[in-house]
Structure 1
Amino acid sequence: MTTTVFASPTEAAGNGNGNGVGPAQPSVAAKAAPAKTFNDVLADVAKRANIKKIDRALAGELDSRLSTHKVMITVTAGNRDAFRKLLQQRGRRVRREHGSLNLFVADLPTQDVLEFANSGLVKALSLDSPIRASQIAPTVTVTAPAQPTVTAPYAVLPGATFNVTITNGTGNAKDWVSLNATAALDATYVGWKYLNGSTTAPTTGLTSATVQFVAPTVPGTYNVRLFANGGWTKLATSATVNVGPTLTVPLAPVKPGKAFTVDVSGAPGNVTDWVSLTAADAADTNYFSWAYMNGSKSAPSTALTSATVTFIAPVTQGTYNIRLFVNNTWVKLATSTPVIVSGAAPSVTIPSAITAGDTFTVAL
């Protein structure tokens, strides 16, 4: 009996441990990456590049590899016509155009988006899509605190008392105000007070107050300055305070009907500042005569701060004065000392009848 012995498949093929020669092992080659499309390359460039003109939503859509995008394009000023022509030449669909905003909404391929991001014609590129409520940032309104103010009168007479109003102060007990000539340094004041109107600080700080000052006797321009807490930190300065000018009139009586002069100095310098001749006991509006600083009823072309103005005395004897008003208003800056009109009124004597062509004499 013949016995046939069959080799196992492993033994017949060889397993690397015996002497059998098995079939060749398959070679393992590196798997080639699939070729990228043109849009893939562009999207990768967009993802890696720091293109500030492209907003986040549009950059995300570029990364999704869509071929066409609905884009809002903001062009630089003056280039709207040129950019419209460029879109037309490329056959791009323009959905909307907002001229006042230099903005187009158009369907663009990815290639155009990246090209326009590097174009000087374009300021910004963003995705034109509905905005969800979650994308809208809440509106925060910040109200700036009110700033300190110092309010003082436009004009006061020399030596007169006037009020200064302070609002929105810091509330320190030693906040203080000073009266200074406008051109003077802070430390060169002519008077100062805490907000309680005293040179002794209040026990409790004030944020608003009314403080009285006495105007200097020297005419000029001044202001009031607010400082913080006993120091030199200046919080506010008032508008200019004009301390009254001087009006110099004749000391001797003036005869009725005669001309006399008034010297004005220290006026604020408005072209329509004016002076009036008024009875001493009359209201400002009941003046006898008036003139601008140039002595005329036509305002000068150049403002005057000092002048000599001529008036004709009234024929009615009595006591009068000169009053200076600011800028065509009834804001009175100064009143002169009395002008006494007394003596005989001037008379004129002429012949009762003359012949045409004859010479005649007039007696004054």
Structure 2
Amino acid sequence: MTALAATSLAAGPSNAVPPLTPCALKRTDAHHSVGLDTWNTAYPRPDRQLDAVMVFLSFPDSVPRTTPTELTADHFPATSRFFERASYGKFTLRPHAVRSWLPMPSASTAYAIRRDWNSARRSAYLRDALAASDPRVDFSRYDIVYFVADPDAPGVNSDATKVVNLESPLRADGTDIRRVVTVFERHPPDRLVLAHETGHVFDLPDLYHRPPDDRGDWDTYVGDWDLMGSQFGLAPDLFAWHKWKLGWLESRQVSCVQAAGGEGTRLALEPLGASGPAVTGAAGAGGAGGAMEGAAGVAAGGGTKLAVVRTGRDSALAFEVRGRVGNDGAVCSQGVLVYRVRSEAVSGGGPIEVLDAHPDTAACPEDSVYPPLADAPVGLGESFTVPGEDVRVEVESRTVAGAWGVRISTG
């Protein structure tokens, strides 16, 4: 068995997704490509209820100081609630926890658990974990598998928590298990860490930058603005682009902005996290010329969430509103967030990069994972020209319904 942690299963088989706008990038061979014209069927798509099993593993060199019930509560219902809000109720993650410790045959130290894990030791761990749990678990019933290690065992390293993709799947109960989430978190764990790892199960990439020798800042690509960048982010909701890929946004909620002179294209963008009913009687955006897209009175969560300008075969600019609602309740600054999308970039290689509308300032130094990007959004009354592109965004108004009036000029 060959196990590759977040490096295998790149392109894989695909299913077509519903008709997309011209600004939708094609999925490439890059691992966890953010292209979204097709869905990689090697991964479950979270557009329905999925069932996950949590298996708790103990070791002969340690007596657990916690219970499976306590460790389950470390992650649920918080993880399910995150996805419920992020998906606007379109996806439900239902956990099923084994209520007792299942003994592994070898000491925790024997597996040499670490972030960059030796593949032979990792494979031995997975084989032993499956053998220990198969008599108690019918794996054919589950879409996702979490192997949770005793956090107090001496050989357990929390940096090793990750998704392991398998070139040769494990086999149990007539089911191929192609990926496993190996959980080595402390008690209590990092905030939203299981949601981050579960994102990989749905073919989402790492958005952080791993510096050489692990020295330096990991959060320079997206800062606080997406769970796949940091589980500690002040605004950890998934980017609208990711929600489009996962099937949580419909194409009618995405505005593809074509080259337009004069007054540009005006539209109303709903905050990404909004999902409640909108208030009627919204005020129009200021300025003349060009119709505003997205009428007032449309239920929030169903209006326009994302604007996209195509900049190349494999690249685009994305515009979305981030505010203090939903998963972004602790956001540092509100406004229109602008980011670059590259479908040919691999996981960890900058497939999404936030563009800073205020490059000379920072914000929330005590709480942000990367203060230079904490004030990245374009605020009300401000404008921003994307460096290297002939694209300009102006934030002209906010409606009583909460939508933001935006004008995007290209060419």
Which category describes the TM-score, using the shorter chain as reference length?
Answer: under 0.3
Q: Which has the higher contact order (CA 8 A, sep 6+)?
A: 2
Give the alignment's TM-score, normalised by structure 2.
0.21
Instruction: Name the structure with the higher helix share.
Output: 2
Give the alignment's TM-score, normalised by structure 1.
0.23
